[in-house]
A and B are shown apart, each in its own frame.
Chain A
């Protein structure tokens, strides 16, 4: 923890603060992406940073994700620590080869001759009426790739500490930001007013430098009846449903998907005997499948019910029927009923 003063921040402000701290502290840090410079990003994550740190540190790029990430790999080979932004996770695919075949493999294929300390930031997830090209959750594409770390924060405090740790990490990190909770911890009850971050303890963010170690989950609610493994926006949805229905659930916010904090997961599931996996991404081959497999391998004899998956459906993210797609309170309540009955 830093000695610096603590301030109430929403997630965008916390991310902006992390970037500001790193730009100030490490001359190798460079930020680039579509609209990130003068304008400060479509979600304002880089607002004011170009003015403060200069145009060669924070700058706009052509609309070419392949170019953004490929150029980042080259900058990292030179010795910089690039932090490119991909405007929406849905746009990351043109850069996938540069991430999967290049960034992720650089240390291994060159036997440490070249490394790639690059952090790719990208807003992801739905619930904002973004349709099928502004709502996706592609995290399992990256957890499947050896050589990349995948990090997803759920609070402003975690977002800043994890992002600083990601930038300081000497390997490539994909940092997915749950854009539905940039401005407040969305509970999934979309017809109720959204609370601002200021009413949430996770909005107390130190102004200076601090890190949250990658690969460590957080138990955000202790409980004895069922373990819920989740991350990002869904942490808050699960918390709200658990409170609404008075369920004695232990909720684990994974924070880093890879490397996975399997020790925390294993201890919790062995304690509760039940495990539910919750993510917004499509179900088949989603990260929930990996979690379910690992829990089954390690905790089979402790389980009193099959591992339950609560996810988005295997369709593109629909526009008008967004709330029928989203794994919200109704789907979660049904899953809790099922897992607690078994």
Chain B
């Protein structure tokens, strides 16, 4: 079978990565090194990438073990800003809960929560300018929520109903909102990486002042697009911020299948000669500070930054998988970096800016608000219940102008509907 062994040489061995814990195991994260706050102080934003390699292997933190905001990375945000951040994350959490449940109730085909990694979309967006362009992957609905995109419009998209701005064409959560600086989400992974670089290059070539930010997961850093994008960004010094949300899991494959046994994701920056930061992704203040640092660099023509948010995917990949089938139970509860919402809440309470009672009241209010929005969205229909965009829209927007062969196929489809629905169709 092609096997060839020389007696004087040891046989080769193929390494197949395996996560430390599987169902039935008790997770133990004691080997994860959590450095002290300010183990590496915040460098000047104009620093040369070659002088900050250690940051790609460290962990930027602001909230210490007692949830006090300390150190040189502390962005010094006001209590109002922090309460707004908390509110956005709780809105996102309430939204995710309702939409996950809606899928389980058969109202749509699919949903993905961002539980446990809310900081990586909310705090980052707050650190950007409102007109900066975001190129999200599929788990950054927090960007839209932070930029006050209407929840009803998000729900209409999830239900693919007649109110869906995307005309029922996209899988749920694959939003597009140009007016909100939110790029159309693909289903193919990391394709947005070179696109964000192209957008940033265009912005720079026009002496514009807007920058681009792009997100992907740990697993999808393995795509060729990731490496093409980093090459282009380095070559043209593009004003773009690359973010890897390292939530440890790519569906059922742990981050080792993207190379995490060898190095950090932030350290990929080093080979490209760009700045790399590894950040506690569950520390909203650290996430904010890292994005602010990178954004200031980009804005002052100091080039791209790659930020890794070290976090944990608290629930399944989507409504289509059960994490109990491939990872140890309670991993999230045992995660050494805690929960981003709980940590911010504890920080605000510790500083006297928030109370448990206020928190519970806010959670209840947001839950009610989201429920009310859900009712409103469902007036426009749910998936598979007739209230969709007109059939003809299936053929629109393939091209700016509909060519003859699509007109022909559209006529055929309408005849099929006529055959199927008869007089009911005539009366529509």
Taking beta carbons and an 8 Å cutoff, which residues of A are in contact with B?
Answer: 30, 56, 61-62, 64, 66-67, 69-80, 82, 94, 97-98, 101-102, 105-115, 146-147, 149, 169-171, 215, 258-260, 262-263
Contact = CB atoms under 8 A, between A and B. Distances in A.
Contact of B191 (A80, A98, A263): A98
A195 B191 CA distance: 45
23 contacts: A61-B235, A62-B228, A62-B232, A64-B232, A66-B225, A69-B194, A70-B193, A71-B197, A74-B199, A74-B212, A76-B198, A77-B198, A82-B198, A94-B224, A97-B188, A106-B184, A110-B166, A110-B176, A110-B178, A110-B184, A114-B178, A115-B400, A146-B398
A189 B165 CA distance: 57
Given A67-B228, A75-B198, A97-B188, 8 more contacts: A66-B228, A70-B193, A74-B198, A110-B176, A110-B184, A171-B400, A259-B403, A262-B404
Contacts of A80: 202
Interface residues of B, number: 44
Contacts of B404: 259, 262-263
A102 B399 CA distance: 14
B70 interface: no
Nearest to B403: A259
Interface in B89-131: none
B183 A114 contact: yes
B348 interface: no
A263 B188 CA distance: 37
Contacts of B367: none
Interface stretch (B52-60, B167-175, B331-339): B167-175
B231 interface: yes
Given A64-B228, A70-B228, A259-B405, A75 B202 contact: yes
B69 interface: no
A70 B186 CA distance: 13
A278 to B, nearest CB: 22
Contacts of B403: 215, 258-259
Nearest to B202: A78
Interface of B: 133, 135, 165-167, 169-170, 174, 176-178, 183-184, 186-188, 191, 193-203, 205, 212, 224-225, 228-229, 231-232, 235, 397-400, 403-405
Contacts of B178: 110, 113-114
B397 A77 contact: no
A109 B202 contact: no
A146 B403 CA distance: 11
* Closest 9 pairs between A and B when the two form their complex, measured CB to CB: A74-B198, A70-B194, A67-B228, A71-B198, A74-B195, A259-B403, A78-B202, A110-B176, A110-B184
A71 B184 CA distance: 15
B397 A111 contact: yes
A74 B194 contact: yes
Given A107-B398, A113-B184, A259-B405, A102 B201 contact: no
Contacts of B166: 109-111, 113
B232 A78 contact: no
Contacts of B405: 259-260, 262
B78 to A, nearest CB: 33
A77 B170 contact: no
Nearest to A172: B399
A289 B195 CA distance: 35
B198 A78 contact: yes
B397 A107 contact: yes
A109 B176 contact: yes
Given A66-B225, A109-B169, A114-B178, A61 B195 contact: no
Contact of A113 (B177, B212, B231, B399): B177
B21 to A, nearest CB: 34
A77 B195 contact: yes
Contacts of A78: 133, 198-199, 202-203
Contacts of A75: 198-199, 201-202
A203 to B, nearest CB: 31
Nearest to A261: B404
Contacts of A110: 166, 176, 178, 184
Contacts of B399: 107, 147, 149, 171, 259
B198 A111 contact: no
Nearest to A106: B184
Nearest to B228: A67
A73 B195 contact: yes
Nearest to B198: A74
